[in-house]
């Protein structure tokens, strides 16, 4: 080997090393960008997953509400028949309940020929016949007892798109006697879905399992009834799980979409929440172009500098230059990153922090350098953070990720997601500290909290909603059974509320409901008490560890609070002010194993019904009517 070749060997090795370093940087930068792309898609998948699951529950609740109304009418028709007197009473009861049907648009009763017997709509019954409807033919030809959620149709009485939910009722001999139908406007779901932000091209769609569109957040009027049975989702549904994320090519606008679908466990419906894949990746794509351009620039700089140094410096000088370049690369990447990068010493003091700290924490790098790294952590989160740092320092774990709250210079708190990794001394191999990469997760946490609130709170009154009440009732019933304590329930209904709305307008009606809700919430004095809006102008108050006497006492205080409000109501004689009727029930879950929490609701509902029919403005408990203004006991 010649002298020149021996002298050039270190140069070739150094040049090769520079090439490898540049390739590795490019490789890992590409891997990181792919990881960030996956993270962006994953975050969007989580958002649409949470939203679709909540909306399926909303749809199930809506159809269950419709089914409860239908079942009540079916039982009544099968018990009383369809004679003129029975139908007149039935029509009167439908008219009475019209204002409390909530999401349900209308109720209809048809005989075995499709003729209209009763309805909540103000129409001429003799002008229509529904024997040609698919749901009518289905019930006529099938004795299946369950609720049928049919394809959307145009309402004959109102002209709008409606979703039918129907059951058949039978003659005493079991033969077909007719159909009871409840309808929900497709536009109700469409308007509800518009409240959620999935980006400019985000869409929420509710489908029948056969692929027919029931409601859509965009272009609802032209989309309802459209048959998507040939779409990939519906055609392959038999081989799919009941809920999953998937990507597809939209037949509506031709774009690629990220979606999460979920099939209802109780009804033949599918809820699909979608976002445009391009919109989800738009922010990542812009940042990736900038970051990759920077990486390519750095690679070019490192390569040129490296080749220059290996030609000019001795082996020791070349090694020192490469090490210095690597340190410079770390700082350049850290300082250009949108995340906050910190080096923390073994004594838990900050050795280095990237300029992103000013945007994230409000303090500059100079102000934070040398200070304790955990100084601003929320006291509730501090023990867990300290234990994690201790494990890193002891070598029990090499890397981990934490989410915690920390103080912002502006005076508030923010949520940080921090990836931690132990660093080692290059000479001894011992753990010398920690590298931490943090990003601001405050907005994401606020969004999670907002979704949780929407899932459990009534939007108008801020009381608990029906779903939250049902969950708490089930929990309190089981707790009462274990503790052998009583559980009481008050059901309250604002008297003649529809007339109040007609007389004073819906804004005044909303204000009235808020006032009643505030008075009711004031009676939920213990941590276990729960005030909730049950539906329309109907409220409930759950009272754990409360017997009949306590329940009646709460009802009396509520009456006094409402009297003090003295809200005028000219169409509510004789007081001509807003009053309520209340029904109370007390259950002893351990006293009769056959009873369930539903029996408590049924008992309170019967008591409320008795109070309404006994003249309103009174309280009924365990079969006894308590008159609030001089009425006689029943």
182-234 tens-digit pLDDT = 999 999 999 999 888 888 888 899 999 988 999 998 888 888 989 888 887 88
Region 122-145: mean pLDDT is 90
Lookup result for tokens 């609802």: 220
Residue 378 confidence (pLDDT):
85
Q: Is the pLDDT reported for residue 330 higher than 80?
A: no
Query: Which of 114-118, 397-401, 524-528 has the largest mean confidence?
Result: 114-118
Residues with Cβ within 8 Å of 410's Cβ and at least 6 positions away in sequence, in order, are 362
CA distance 140 to 625: 44
Biggest CA pair distance of the chain = 122
Q: Which residues contact 363 (CB under 8 A, 6 or more apart)?
A: 357, 409
Task: Output phi, psi for 236, to 5 deg.
Answer: -100, 15
**Is the C-alpha dihedral spanning 292, 297, 300, 303 positive or negative?**
negative
- Write the pLDDT tens digit of every residue in 265-307: 899 999 999 888 888 888 888 888 988 888 888 888 888 888 7
- Tokens describing residue 378: 């929320």
Does 630 score more than 50 pLDDT?
A: no
Q: Token pair of 475, please?
A: 């929990």
Q: How is domain 457-627 classified at the architecture level of CATH?
A: 2-Layer Sandwich (3.30)
Strand, coil or helix: what is 244? strand
474 vs 60, 367, 470, 481, 540, CA distance in Å? 18, 53, 6, 11, 14
* pLDDT range class, residue 351, cuts 50, 70, 90: confident
Q: 184 vs 633, which has greater pLDDT?
A: 184
Q: What is the mean pLDDT of residues 310-335?
A: 59
Q: Does residue 313 contact residue 321 with C-beta atoms inside 8 Å?
A: yes
**179: nearest Cα among 73, 89, 91, 268:** 73
- Residues 6 or more apart in contact with residue 538 via CB below 8 angstroms: 100, 491, 492, 493, 494
Q: What is the dihedral of CA 169, 170, 175, 176, to 10 degrees?
A: -30
CA distances (Å), origin 56, targets 17, 49, 92, 98: 57, 11, 34, 26
Residues 6+ apart with CB under 8 A from 577: 566, 567, 568, 569
Which residues are 149's β-sheet partners?
165
Give 604-613 pLDDT, tens digit per residue. 999 999 999 9
Non-local CB neighbours of 418 within 8 Å, separated by 6+ positions: 401, 402, 403, 404, 436, 437, 438
Higher pLDDT: 306 or 568? It is 568
Decide which of 410 and 387 is more confident. 387
Say if strands 530-535 and 538-544 run parallel, antiparallel, or are unpaired: antiparallel
Q: Where would I find the beta strands (DSSP E) of 354-475?
A: 399-407, 413-424, 431-440
Please state, in angstroms and rounded to a whole number, the distance separating the CA atoms of residues 76 and 97. 15
Question: Where does the chain hold its CATH 3.30.450.20 domain(s)?
Answer: 36-290, 338-441
The Cα–Cα gap between 558 and 593 comes to 32
Q: How many other C-beta atoms lie within 10 A of the C-beta of residue 604? A: 26
Residue 98 contacts residue 118 (beta carbons within 8 Å): no
Residue 396 has pLDDT above 60, yes or no: yes
Average pLDDT over residues 502-525: 92
Question: Quick one: average pLDDT of 91-96?
Answer: 89
Distance CA 243, CA 619 (A): 46
Res. 631: pLDDT tops 50: no
Cis peptide before 574 (omega within 30 of 0): yes
pLDDT at 624: 43
pLDDT value for 52: 87
DSSP letters for 85-124: HHHHHHHHHHHHHGGG-TT--EEEEEETTSBEEEESS-S-
Residue 515 vs residues 508, 531, 562, 570: alpha-carbon distances, Å: 10, 13, 9, 18
Q: Is it the case that residue 100 has pLDDT exceeding 90?
A: no
Q: For residues 344 and 352, what is the distance between their CA atoms, to the nearest angstrom?
A: 7
Q: Check residue 379 and give its pLDDT.
A: 87
What is the per-residue pLDDT for 493? 94
Long-range pairs, 316-322, Cβ under 8 A, ≥24:
318/10, 318/14, 322/17, 322/21
Structure pTM?
0.45
- The fold of 36-290 is Beta-Lactamase (3.30.450)
Going by the DSSP 8-state scheme, the letter that residue 633 receives in this structure is: P
Which CATH superfamily includes the segment(s) 338-441? PAS domain (3.30.450.20)
State whether the Cα torsion 192-198-200-204 is positive or negative.
negative
Please state, in angstroms and rounded to a whole number, the distance separating the CA atoms of residues 136 and 118.
15
Does the pLDDT value for residue 323 go beyond 50?
Answer: no
| pLDDT confidence tier of residue 628, bands split at 50, 70 and 90 | very low
pLDDT at 514 over 90: yes
Q: What is the DSSP letter of 126?
A: G
For residue 140 the two structure tokens come to 């006529």
DSSP 631: P
In this predicted structure, the answer to whether residue 492 has a pLDDT above a threshold of 80 is yes
pLDDT category at 167 given cuts 50, 70, 90 is: very high
Q: Strand 618-621 and strand 580-587: pairing? A: parallel
Average pLDDT over the chain, rounded to whole? 85
CB contact at 8 A, 296 and 288: no
8-state DSSP, 265: S
Q: Is residue 532 a contact partner of residue 539, using CB atoms and an 8 Å limit?
A: yes
Residue in 32, 23, 43, 45 with CA at minimum distance from that of residue 288: 32
Give the angle 47-452-204 at the CA atoms, nearest 5°. 40
Q: What are the residues whose beta carbons fall under 8 Å from the beta carbon of 42, sequence distance 6 or more?
A: none
Output the pLDDT for position 178.
Answer: 95
pLDDT band at 18 (very low <50, low <70, confident <90, very high): confident
In the block, residue with structure tokens 């009383």? 80
Angstrom CA distances, 530 to 80, 288, 377, 462, stand at 38, 50, 34, 12
Place of tokens 């608990």: 464
In this prediction, residue 321 carries a pLDDT of 53
Distance in Å from the first CA to the final CA of the chain: 118
For residue 216, the model assigns a pLDDT of 92
User: Using CA atoms, how far apart are residues 583 and 614, in angstroms rounded to an integer?
Assistant: 12
Closest Cα to residue 222, out of 210, 213, 211?
213
Question: Of 40-49, 176-185, 506-515, which gets the smallest average pLDDT?
Answer: 40-49
Q: What number of other Cβ atoms are within 10 A of residue 231's Cβ?
A: 16
Model confidence over 577-591: pLDDT tens digits?
999 999 999 988 875
Average pLDDT for 471-493:
92
Residues 186, 214 contacting (CB under 8 angstroms): yes
Contact residues for 530 (Cβ-Cβ < 8 A; gap 6+) = 464, 468, 469, 472, 476, 524, 541, 542
pLDDT at residue 632, as a whole number: 29
């Amino acid at each position: 080997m010649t002298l020149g070749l021996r002298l050039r060997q270190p140069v070739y090795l150094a040049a090769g090393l520079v090439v490898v370093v540049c390739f590795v940087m490019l490789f890992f930068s590409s891997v990181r960008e792919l990881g960030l792309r996956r993270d962006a898609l994953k975050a969007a998948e989580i958002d649409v997953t949470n939203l679709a699951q909540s909306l399926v529950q909303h749809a199930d609740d809506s159809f269950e509400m419709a089914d409860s109304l239908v079942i009540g009418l079916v039982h009544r028709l099968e018990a009383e028949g369809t004679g003129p007197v029975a139908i007149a009473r039935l029509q009167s009861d439908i008219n009475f309940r019209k204002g409390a049907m909530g999401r349900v648009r209308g109720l209809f009763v048809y005989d075995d020929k499709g003729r209209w017997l009763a309805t909540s709509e103000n129409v001429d019954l003799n002008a229509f016949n529904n024997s040609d409807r698919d749901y009518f033919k289905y019930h006529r030809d099938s004795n299946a007892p369950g609720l049928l959620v049919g394809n959307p149709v145009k309402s004959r009485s109102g002209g709008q798109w409606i979703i039918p939910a129907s059951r058949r009722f039978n003659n005493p001999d079991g033969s077909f006697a007719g159909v009871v139908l409840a309808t929900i406007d497709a536009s109700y779901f469409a308007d509800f879905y518009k409240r959620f932000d999935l980006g400019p091209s985000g869409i929420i769609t509710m489908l029948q399992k056969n692929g027919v569109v029931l409601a859509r957040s965009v272009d609802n009027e032209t989309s309802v009834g459209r048959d998507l049975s040939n779409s990939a989702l519906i055609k392959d549904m038999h081989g799919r799980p009941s809920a999953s994320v998937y990507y597809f090519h939209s037949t509506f606008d031709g774009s690629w979409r990220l979606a999460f679908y979920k099939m209802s466990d109780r009804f033949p419906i599918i809820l699909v929440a979608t976002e445009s894949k391009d919109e989800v990746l738009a922010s990542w794509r812009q940042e990736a172009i900038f970051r990759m351009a920077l990486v390519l620039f750095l690679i070019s700089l490192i390569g040129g500098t490296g080749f220059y140094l290996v030609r000019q410096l001795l082996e020791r000088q070349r090694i020192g230059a490469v090490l210095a370049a690597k340190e410079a690369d770390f700082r350049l990447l850290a300082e250009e990153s949108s995340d906050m990068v910190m080096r923390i010493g073994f004594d838990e003091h900050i050795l280095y922090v990237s300029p992103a700290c000013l945007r994230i924490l409000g303090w500059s790098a100079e102000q934070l350098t040398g200070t304790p790294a955990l100084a601003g952590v929320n006291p509730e989160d501090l023990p867990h953070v300290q234990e994690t740092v201790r494990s890193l320092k002891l070598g029990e774990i090499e890397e981990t990720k934490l989410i915690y709250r920390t103080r912002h210079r502006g005076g508030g708190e923010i949520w940080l997601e921090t990836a931690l990794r132990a660093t080692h001394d290059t000479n001894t191999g011992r753990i010398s500290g920690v590298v931490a990469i943090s990003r601001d997760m405050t907005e994401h946490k606020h969004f999670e909290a907002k979704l949780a609130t929407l899932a459990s709170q009534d939007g108008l009154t801020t009381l608990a909603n029906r779903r939250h009440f049902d969950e708490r009732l089930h929990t309190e019933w089981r707790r009462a059974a274990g503790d052998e304590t009583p559980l009481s329930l008050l059901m309250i209904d604002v008297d003649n509320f529809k007339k109040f709305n007609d007389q004073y307008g819906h804004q005044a009606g909303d204000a009235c409901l808020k006032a009643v809700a505030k008075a009711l919430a004031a009676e939920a004095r213990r941590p276990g008490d729960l005030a909730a809006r049950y539906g329309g102008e109907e409220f409930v108050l759950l009272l754990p560890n409360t017997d009949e006497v306590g329940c009646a006492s709460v009802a009396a205080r509520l009456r006094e609070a409402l009297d003090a409000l003295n809200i005028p109501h000219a169409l509510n004689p004789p007081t001509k002010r807003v009053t309520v009727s209340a029904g109370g029930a007390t259950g002893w879950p351990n006293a009769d194993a056959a009873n369930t929490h539903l029996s408590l609701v049924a008992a309170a509902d019967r008591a409320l019904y008795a109070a309404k029919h006994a003249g309103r403005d009174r309280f009924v408990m365990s079969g006894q009517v308590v008159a609030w203004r001089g009425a006689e006991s029943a």
